[in-house]
Homo-oligomer: A and B are copies of this chain.
Amino acid sequence: MPKNPAPRAARDRAQEGEASGASRPATRIQTEKRALILDAALEVFSERGFRGATVDEIAGRAGLSKPNLLYYFPSKEAMHEALLNGLLDTWLDPLREIDPNGEPLDEILAYVRRKLEMSRKFPRESRLFANEIVQGAPRIGDTLGTDLKVLVDEKAAVIQGWMDDGRLATSHPHHLIFSIWSLTQHYADFDVQVRAVLGGEDPLDGAPAFLETLYRRTLVP
């Protein structure tokens, strides 16, 4: 018969470092299960939104019992937060890669290609993000006005420089960036609609060529 009053469980420390200093290292099982759970959570959050998702469904899709899931994450909120935390960074990586010293048109077209590739490879992440933004970004709104704005302003300035130098056709850099987000993410976020209209054809077959043509015509000086 156990006498320890309340064992310090994984949730008390498995917060992936960051917070308190004296946290024991995560066990193999913890690492695996946390990844498994986050994958299931991504699945459910991305197709139901935060409030529409239930812990039971996440647990079910992860093949765990609900209390077991809550042993690894202290709350539904925590899972959502863990997903969103990593996401914005990953999502902006393609933008960071734009090289101020590169050939302007190539840089933009490569950026479009990278973003399109993300819609192909990570549609769930795209929809998770879309859900959050459409509903007013209640959980990452703060980051948008700071981190995001800083990065976009920086890259917009680079693009503006290219336009000033006559190496790109003149346009509104910020709106240009918005357009790339919009056009590429559309294929992930509005997937069902696009597929319904196209019938059998895979939307992401025609998309790269279409977008390359569109941006070439828009940006060639």
Residues of A participating in the B interface, judged by any CB pair closer than 8 Å: 47-52, 127, 130-131, 133-137, 141, 144-145, 148-149, 152-153, 169, 171-172, 174-176, 178-179, 181-183, 186, 189-190, 192-194, 196-199, 203, 206-207, 209-211, 213-214, 217-218
Select from chain B the residue with minimum beta-carbon distance to A50.
B52
Contact yes or no, A172 B210, CB < 8 A:
yes
Please, how many angstroms separate the alpha-carbon atoms of A48 and B47 in the complex? 13
Nearest chain B CB to A180 CB, angstrom units: 10
Q: Which of A131, A175, A198 has the most B CB atoms < 10 Å from its CB?
A: A175
Known contacts A49-B131, A134-B127, A198-B174; A214/B149 CB under 8 A: no
- CB-CB < 8 A to A189: which residues of B? 130, 133-134
Please, how many angstroms separate the alpha-carbon atoms of A14 and B85 in the complex? 47
Contact yes or no, B190 A182, CB < 8 A:
yes
Contact yes or no, A49 B47, CB < 8 A:
no
Nearest chain B CB to A109 CB, angstrom units: 14
- CB-CB < 8 A to A50: which residues of B? 52
- CB-CB < 8 A to A48: which residues of B? 49, 51, 135
Select from chain B the residue with minimum beta-carbon distance to A51.
B52
Selected from B52, B136, B207, B209, the residue in CB contact (under 8 A) with A135 is: B52
- CB-CB < 8 A to A134: which residues of B? 127, 130-131, 134, 189-190
- CB-CB < 8 A to A130: which residues of B? 130, 134, 189-190
